[in-house]
């Protein structure tokens, strides 16, 4: 008579340890790869479609922005509305798109901008005879003698440091297609952190 082994005491077949370790490593690598690609994908979307970092180089926007400040540019808002007067924008320099500039929007499409005797005057539908632009954020007069009429999709931009800025006074209008986005925050140095707001110029402006 042959003895029968209970299933609970039946000898187990030895496992292939190498195979188990190999499968575990493959699963681990796959999980890491999936996590990394997800993070990189999100970072790519944020970097190229939502926000973009820039360094301020030079003094053309003093005293609002300083040399070597690290700023974050909002690339989303202008997909839903047009740039507003007073917005500080980063754009590709029309004369050489390999370079990026930071300036403030002063004139809007359809308007005429006049610079005379250190003052900026805006002519538009609300002010056909013109109205002087009050800019409390700058301590300088606006040098130059310029009269420029803007077509659809064209903007007139100026640096806040009016005596030391290369802007629409020297190289002309800024086409909408060159605008990268609106400056959202000054991120670094940390003691200079601030959000950037668009000033109000009054009714009709």
Would you name the residues annotated as active-site residues? 60, 103
Taking CA atoms, 191 is separated from 54, 130, 171, 194, 205, in Å, by 18, 41, 35, 9, 33
Q: What are the backbone dihedrals phi and psi of residue 15, each rounded to the nearest 5 degrees, phi first? A: -80, 155
Which segments of 10-62 does DSSP mark as H helices, in order? 17-45
Q: In what order do the strands lie in the sheet with 131-132?
A: 131-132, 119-123, 112-116, 146-149
Contact (CB, 8 A) for 139 and 154: no
- 131 secondary structure, DSSP code: E
Contact (CB, 8 A) for 197 and 205: no
């Amino acid at each position: 008579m042959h003895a029968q082994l209970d299933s609970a005491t039946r000898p187990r077949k030895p496992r292939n340890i190498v195979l188990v370790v190999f499968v575990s490593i493959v699963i681990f690598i796959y999980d890491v790869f999936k996590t990394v690609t997800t993070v990189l994908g999100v970072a790519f979307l944020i970097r190229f479609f939502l926000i973009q970092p820039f360094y301020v180089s030079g003094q053309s926007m003093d005293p609002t922005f300083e040399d070597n400040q690290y700023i974050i540019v909002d690339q989303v808002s202008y997909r839903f509305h047009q740039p507003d007067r007073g917005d500080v924008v980063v754009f590709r320099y029309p004369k050489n798109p390999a370079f990026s500039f930071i300036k403030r929007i002063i004139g809007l499409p359809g308007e005429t901008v006049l610079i005379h005797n250190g003052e900026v005057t805006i002519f538009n539908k609300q002010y056909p005879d013109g109205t002087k632009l009050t800019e409390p954020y700058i301590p300088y007069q606006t040098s130059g003698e310029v009269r420029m009429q803007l077509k659809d999709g064209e903007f007139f931009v100026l640096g806040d440091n009016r005596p030391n800025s290369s802007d629409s006074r020297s190289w002309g209008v800024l086409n909408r297609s060159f605008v990268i986005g609106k400056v959202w925050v000054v991120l670094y140095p940390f003691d200079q952190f601030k959000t950037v707001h668009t000033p109000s110029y009054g009714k009709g402006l």
